[in-house]
Structure 1
Amino acid sequence: MSGLAPASLALPKQLLALPAGAFITIEKLEQGGSLQARRLSTGAVQFYWRYANEGRTHREPLGPYDPVSPPKKLEPTSRGLSVAAARERCRQLSLKHTKLQGIGGLKEAKAIERRQYVADKEAAATRATHSLGKLLDDYVKHQANQGRISAREAKNLFDLHVVKAWPALAQTPASEITQDQVIDMLRRLTEQGKGRTSNKLRAYLRAAFQCAVDVRVTASIPVAFKAYAVQTNPAAQTRRDGRFDGADKRPLSADELRTYWHLIEKLPGLRGRCLRMHLLTGGQRIEQLVRLRWADVRADSITIHDTKGRPGRGPRAHTVPIIKAALRDLQGFERVGDHVFSTTKGVKPISGTTLSGWAAQAVGDAIEGFQLKRVRSGVETLLAANRISREIRGHVQSHGLTGIQARHYDGHDYMLEKREALELLAGELTGAVTRSKAAKPRRETASASLRTTR
């Protein structure tokens, strides 16, 4: 059924009377091709533009026929097209087909568009799997695999102050994160009065992005970071706020340390043994000490593993002498499982938070503003006041041991010097050592011992 005039009054009836599956040519178009219609199995009438390309004919769907649309209306309605609107759509497609002849016409252009759509969709899916949140997860896993205690702190900061606080940013591809967005995350914390947390978050964000940047030049970084396609580090372009850099150590004074000792000296059970071991070994880093394993315990020393320091270097073994005052507590631990500081038969260690909580409960209100971390700085301050050199204090507490000389040339284990320093500490706590001339030979002996080893 062809040759129908566009203005024929019988056209609407003929369209609606089409049998299902049948095509009708409504008219040939001056621009090329023809306007056709077909009755679908659903009963609706569908318009098509029929055209030829490279010796083959094709039909391009235009939309359904709207029998109640004004006959001269050129814009589609919510129900479909008038005949005039279908004709106009054919004209537009014909012009587009002519312009696209250089790439194969309308059909090839649509194929290109489909391929691009699929590629864009796949790219979007790939980007979604390499979001900021995923990058931070991979960084935490990388740190944990290296045995770094900081992995737990990093995860907590990321979960609370990135994923939860900025869910849209967490789902954004890591390669698209900008400096301004990082600053917004940090500013939020600063405005909440959490400047120290802001600086910590910045440091961890910077480290995570740097893994994705350095993966191209550092073989020890897992290849998974390469897929993030991060070219620059947006966190590295920000500045930390120096006002919040100083950690609130507030070392315990000598009198406060003695008060603390008297509070835990007779504390029974596991709590007392753990707290006394922490103090009598020189206030070691809490998170490292609580992970002490029986495999690293000797008759006169323990070895803990210092995970602080340069990334990629791995934990550094730090051996601490066990003085007589601490030996009884060490022998009092139940020797089962792997871990010494444990409430689960050595299956897993207690957390640093648990040890800090035990200390806070033991102290109560006896020491104003008490925190277990203040013990470490208090011990160093007390040793310094007793003329123990900075170098020996560093060997006791495993800090400040940097430089080529310390890493490569100085092979002395400093066990004698560390033992003397810890015995002096115990004497100061119990009152066995006083600030009198009688105490000076011990301090001078430690200094002399240091000189003889150089």
Structure 2
Amino acid sequence: MATKTALTDREVKAAIASGKSGWLNQNMGAGEGSLSLRYWPTGATWYYSYNVRGKTRRIVIKPDSGTAQLLTLAQARAKALELIKERRDAPGGDLLLHQKMQTEAALRSKAAHEAEERARSLRTVEKLLNNYLDNMRARGKISTGSVANEFNNLLRDYPALADRDAASVTPLEWVGILRRYGKTDGHTDKMRKLRSYLRSAYSTALRADLDPLQDASAGMMLTTNPIDGIPAGTSRARDRNLSEQEFRALWARLRADSHPLSLALQALILLGGQRYTQLIRATVRDYQDGELTLYDPKGRRATPRKHVLPVQGMAKGLLDEFANRSALLGTDLLFTITGAGPALLDSASRYITDLSKAMVERGEATDTFRLSDIRRSLETIMSGKLRISKDDRAQLMSHGVSGVQDKHYDKSAHMDAKAEALAKLERWLVQDTAIVVPLRAGGAG
């Protein structure tokens, strides 16, 4: 295959029109390779050719993107000169190998980037929170639903947070979020709870990352817990106690409302002021033979402690109604609104907050109150007005019972005492509840 010093347009056109097959070559300079045209009856292709280690390498000289027309001699020569410049920088003068290595490197880089993006999608804040909830479920933590609700509210308020890399959210960013809940919205308790849940979520992920038995590819790539340095704040004990008259007004309003939340709160009161979060976890199976079994997970006990309550009088009517309603909704949950889940704490808290504001406006309460104030007020009433002993209140309200007491007390005797205490409470509640007198002048009648 002969190589000419320079090709001409006439030679190129004649070769393509000949209907034959062959090669035309133009030397591009000493050691610089050659411009080659391969032609055959149905077409032609330009190449840049060079020798390396005794072998001929050829690189196709393609038309610009978007055109299928064969390059002119001048265009092909210009592109060959560009390839010659590239070849001078190629290791060993092997441009084809260099291009191949660059292509492979680009593919590896793209694959690594895509893998990193996939991994990043598994390290988002939303994934961190969901992993923690899965961990709670695996450990049988009955507070999982409440924690999930807090996380859902967080991502609803801050939707852009969901797809953030969990490791990239700084302590200052978390402080800004928590500060909004603690100060702007006035929910200091919510702020403290959310901080605690977030700290636990990060801690759980960190432990998994450092566990040599865990698959490293599934880790969150965390090195620190951004919540650790954020102060929990001081939890001030509330001392709001509803007076007897305020409590009667509250009871009258609850009795006048047939909403499932109101019915659940009535049951909570009739059962001696149980913790709302424990009450709403109850299932239909937990209510049998005139008894309701709740489960107390407080403390570090591995298995929640059973807390059995006698169900009688008005409470029995309410729980029977809830059980029938659950059957119609096709759910095992005893206290539910739609059947899809329990009557959430946030919903009950808002209900009581709104109700207390209405009571203040009507002169039925001197100040607003919260859901947690109902339990405290009930204990005060049972202690002072109803003269129920401290031990019986402790057994009824599931607090102040040590492990030794819990194992050795006479269960039947305490069930009798609980039943008697609840009967006293119900009699007090229904006494003159129809009469609600405003507590201050100016209250609407």
TM-score range relative to shorter protein: 0.5 to 0.7
Residue 391 of structure 1 and its aligned partner are, at CA, apart by: 7.4
Mapped pair 1:239 → 2:223: no
CA deviation string 1:317-357 (max 9, x = no partner): 3222446674565566665734444567x897555566667
CA deviation string 1:254-307 (max 9, x = no partner): 442243335446877977764432112222222431343332224453111345
Cross-structure match for 2:377: 378
Cross-structure match for 2:396: 396
Alignment of 1:178-217 (within 5 A): 178-183=170-175, 185-186=177-178, 192-193=184-185, 196=188, 197-215=190-208
Cross-structure match for 1:446: none
Alignment of 1:397-412 (within 5 A): 397-399=397-399, 406-407=402-403, 410-412=406-408
Cross-structure match for 2:306: 317
Gaps of 5+ in 1: 67-79, 433-454
Contact 1:24 1:36 in 2 (8 A): yes
Contact 1:26 1:35 in 2 (8 A): yes
The percent identity for this pair of structures is: 24
CA distance, structure 1, for counterparts of residue 14 and residue 64 of structure 2: 9
CA distance, structure 2, for counterparts of residue 57 and residue 290 of structure 1: 81
Mapped pair 1:91 → 2:90: no
1:289 to 269, 274, 279: 279
Contact 1:206 1:233 in 2 (8 A): no
CA distance, structure 2, for counterparts of residue 36 and residue 400 of structure 1: 96
Letter in 2 for 1:239: I
Alignment of 1:27-426 (within 5 A): 27-28=27-28, 32-34=32-34, 49-52=48-51, 56-60=55-59, 64=63, 83=77, 86-98=80-92, 107-108=100-101, 110-144=103-137, 146=140, 147=142, 148-162=144-158, 164-166=159-161, 170-183=162-175, 185-186=177-178, 192-193=184-185, 196=188, 197-215=190-208, 227-240=218-231, 242=233, 245-246=235-236, 250-264=240-254, 274-307=264-297, 309-310=299-300, 313=302, 315-322=304-311, 326-327=315-316, 329-330=318-319, 335=324, 337=327, 338-341=332-335, 350-352=343-345, 364-365=358-359, 366-367=364-365, 368-383=367-382, 395-399=395-399, 406-407=402-403, 410-412=406-408, 415=411, 416=413, 420=417, 423-424=420-421
CA distance, structure 1, for counterparts of residue 242 and residue 182 of structure 2: 28
CA deviation string 1:47-98 (max 9, x = no partner): 76544556654445677469xxxxxxxxxxxxx9895575244323332323
CA distance, structure 1, for counterparts of residue 194 and residue 75 of structure 2: 58
CA distance, structure 2, for counterparts of residue 240 and residue 388 of structure 1: 40
**Secondary structure in 2 aligned to 1:240?**
coil
**Secondary structure in 2 aligned to 1:127?**
helix
Letter in 1 for 2:199: R
CA distance, structure 2, for counterparts of residue 23 and residue 184 of structure 1: 73
CA distance, structure 2, for counterparts of residue 99 and residue 161 of structure 1: 60
CA distance, structure 1, for counterparts of residue 107 and residue 259 of structure 2: 72
CA distance, structure 1, for counterparts of residue 236 and residue 22 of structure 2: 83
CA deviation string 1:220-267 (max 9, x = no partner): x9x799713434343333303516x55878443444224333544687
Contact 1:18 1:38 in 2 (8 A): no
Letter in 2 for 1:373: S
CA distance, structure 2, for counterparts of residue 347 and residue 110 of structure 1: 54
TM-score by length of 1: 0.64
TM-score by length of 2: 0.65
Do the aligned partners of residues 353 and 128 (structure 1) sit closer, same or farther apart at CA in structure 2, a change above 3 Å counting? closer
CA distance, structure 1, for counterparts of residue 260 and residue 342 of structure 2: 12
Do the aligned partners of residues 94 and 182 (structure 1) sit closer, same or farther apart at CA in structure 2, a change above 3 Å counting? farther
**Secondary structure in 1 aligned to 2:272?**
coil
Contact 1:325 1:426 in 2 (8 A): no
CA distance, structure 2, for counterparts of residue 408 and residue 50 of structure 1: 93
Contact 1:356 1:372 in 2 (8 A): yes
Do the aligned partners of residues 239 and 36 (structure 1) sit closer, same or farther apart at CA in structure 2, a change above 3 Å counting? farther
Letter in 1 for 2:91: H
Gaps of 5+ in 2: 66-73, 430-445
Do the aligned partners of residues 414 and 352 (structure 1) sit closer, same or farther apart at CA in structure 2, a change above 3 Å counting? farther
**Secondary structure in 2 aligned to 1:304?**
strand
